[in-house]
Structure 1
């Protein structure tokens, strides 16, 4: 749901975040937690959200108002004060590679905070998986691959992987589409070079040319 889009291709629904001020508004641990809970659980009140993330309703109300100010959430209708439910305005976000240094720094912080929570859920799975039925322990995956590819090939691989996972996107938005026995499953796609690119500047001039 939350990714840095390097493909240049907009996928439907997620919001593109390019403005440094908007990114800084999201870059707070409580706001990331609130966003995730609304994505996983649908519309909720500040009190309900506080119970799920371990914060007070007052704290949640403040951060929900800040998220609303920058267009991330809105009132879902019904209720008053802290009893009014909130919902997301869009499901997920993309953070395109930024040329603005401030937006780059803010976007990296948003991703870091989001990934820290995801890795926390991964650690919780490792600690509790013995309590899951065998079919879930066998279905879950923990793999690592190293491949030699060009930037263009990596872009294509990422597009294909996103397309596979997008087949299940409607189930996140509409609980009626979830088959019996379905659980929320988190898949992290992290692809990055592990060595620096060759320094072409040290190469001599092409054959047939004089320096």
Structure 2
């Protein structure tokens, strides 16, 4: 079943290309993606103020992100302002390349590096807000098909609030940005 263009544009970008994974595997680039996701279109100067980097550094990294399709120019503004916006809300990463070829090894290395960097950023944020942060842990005995179904169910549940990222007018007044991190892996 084909996804509609609107549904495909709303879905997180699935990263399968090692070059794109490597392009995103930089702390400043990840910070830029995060701030653009939370704040919407920003100039390099505005983004730099929010992530504590220089406008020159942000401008360079925004151009690199644009080269790989993660961000784009948001349109003209008065003067020389050049705002940027993300092209897709979120990304997903699966390391399913295991056939032993050079390409599969490159994919695995790039996916592992980006996944580790992202997880460390998420855990650092979690640790810094640990005052009352919720945690849950459980173990299930499931088949691979059931595990995939479980992941799809969790994704559907979390995606219920996705429109609030794209359209701030849909956010209730007391709403705040909450990061949801779901980890699934064999318990061995």
Query: What is the TM-score normalised by the length of structure 2?
Result: 0.86
Deviation of the 1:22 alpha carbon: 1.5
- Does 2:110 correspond to 1:112? no
CA distance in 1, matches of 2:155, 2:110: 24
The answer as to whether partners of 1:18 and 1:98 remain within 8 angstroms in 2 is no
2:12 corresponds to: 14
1:147 CA displacement: 2.1
User: Which one of the candidate residues 123, 139, 143 is aligned to 1:146?
Assistant: 139
What CA distance in whole angstroms lies between the structure 1 residues aligned with 2:187 and 2:141? 10
Q: Which deviations, in whole Å up to 9, do the C-alpha atoms of 1:43-100 show, x marking residues without a partner? A: 011111111111111111110011111111111112465x311001111112233421
Displacement of 1:11: 8.9
**Which residue does 1:70 correspond to in 2?**
68
Runs of 4+ in 1 over 3 A off after TM superposition: none
Alpha-carbon distance between aligned partners in 1 of 2:96 and 2:145, rounded to the nearest angstrom: 19
Deviates more, 1:40-49 or 1:140-149: 140-149
Give the aligned length: 174
Residues 157-198 of structure 1: per-residue CA shift (max 9 Å, x gap): 111111111111111111111112111111111011121xxx
Structure 1 residue runs of 5 or longer lacking an equivalent are 1-9, 130-136, 196-211
Structure having the higher Rg = 1
Return the match for 1:156 from 135, 149, 162.
149
- Residue of structure 2 in register with 1:49 after alignment: 47
2:182 aligned with 1:182, yes or no? Answer: no
- 1:118, distance to aligned residue in structure 2 (A): 1.1
